[in-house]
């Protein structure tokens, strides 16, 4: 049975109180490497949101209408990844067509969304928490927006940090991870305000 949570509440929760990045620490690799630059962060945030929304829906359909009736739940990891990889491929082609500039800016990180843990994480949470179709969609979209928000915040902070006197040994990823830690603590303040399961 799906939990009785208003899809809209789930949407808000996944952006703020249970942010996929700052509460669950998923999707860190591209989060750290791309957040150097606001423009690319914005593009990647958009791409992740798009992929999350579409894959959450697709994977819900595949899981509940194909895998569950056939008793093949144990195949979910393989199937989820195959679905995600294909969706990323398709989105890649569309972005290349619609906005070649964004395509070039995202470069290698666009195909790398395939192995972004946040994407698989959302699909697995959706299955573990037994979300309904609508809940999955709002949770997927919300998580994407949450990820986008988090990377934009981090990119903005990093721009300030660049000018700050950071000890040599902490420059780059070091201070970034510490920054993320502070951000996560701030977000944890909201933890549990809205239930997600």
Chain residues in the site for another protein (CB under 8 A):
62, 66-67, 70, 72, 75, 78-79, 82-83, 86, 89-90, 93-94, 96-97, 100-101, 104, 107
Instruction: Give the nearest distance from C-beta 184 to another protein in angstroms.
Output: 33
Distance of CA 38 to the CA centre of its chain: 17
Instruction: Give the nearest distance from C-beta 162 to another protein in angstroms.
Output: 23
Report, in angstroms and rounded to the nearest whole number, the Rg of the chain calculated over CA atoms.
17
Pick the closer one to another protein by CB: 66 or 170.
Answer: 66
Pick the closer one to another protein by CB: 48 or 62.
Answer: 62
**Which has the closest alpha carbon to 146: 8, 22, 51?**
22
Pick the closer one to another protein by CB: 107 or 173.
Answer: 107
Distance CA 79, CA 129 (A): 18
Pick the closer one to another protein by CB: 26 or 119.
Answer: 119
Q: How many CB atoms within 10 Å of residue 150?
A: 26
Instruction: Give the nearest distance from C-beta 37 to another protein in angstroms.
Output: 14
Sequence-distant contacts of 97-106: CB under 8 A, at least 24 apart: 102/43, 102/46, 105/39, 105/40, 105/43, 106/40, 106/43, 106/44, 106/47
Pick the closer one to another protein by CB: 28 or 79.
Answer: 79
Instruction: Give the nearest distance from C-beta 95 to another protein in angstroms.
Output: 10
CA dihedral for 33, 146, 57, 71, sign (positive or negative): positive
Instruction: Give the nearest distance from C-beta 75 to another protein in angstroms.
Output: 6
Distance CA 5, CA 42 (A): 30
DSSP 1: -
Instruction: Give the nearest distance from C-beta 157 to another protein in angstroms.
Output: 27
Pick the closer one to another protein by CB: 2 or 86.
Answer: 86
């Amino acid at each position: 049975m799906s939990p009785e949570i208003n899809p809209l509440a789930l949407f808000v929760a996944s952006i703020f109180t249970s942010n996929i990045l700052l509460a669950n620490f998923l999707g860190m690799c591209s989060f750290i490497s791309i957040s150097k630059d606001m423009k690319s962060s914005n593009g990647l945030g958009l791409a992740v949101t798009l992929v999350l929304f579409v894959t959450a829906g697709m994977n819900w359909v595949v899981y509940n209408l194909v895998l569950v009736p056939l008793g093949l739940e144990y195949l979910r990891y393989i199937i989820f990844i195959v679905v995600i990889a294909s969706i990323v491929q398709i989105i890649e082609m569309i972005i290349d067509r619609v906005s070649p500039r964004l395509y070039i800016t995202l470069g290698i990180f666009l195909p790398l969304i395939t192995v972004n843990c946040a994407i698989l994480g959302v699909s697995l949470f959706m299955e573990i928490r037994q979300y309904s179709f609508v809940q999955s969609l709002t949770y997927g979209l919300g998580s994407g927006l949450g990820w986008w928000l988090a990377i934009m915040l981090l990119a903005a902070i990093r721009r300030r940090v660049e000018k700050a006197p950071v000890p040599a040994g902490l420059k780059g990823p070091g201070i970034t991870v510490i920054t993320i830690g502070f951000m996560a603590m701030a977000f944890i303040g909201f933890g549990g305000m809205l239930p997600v399961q």
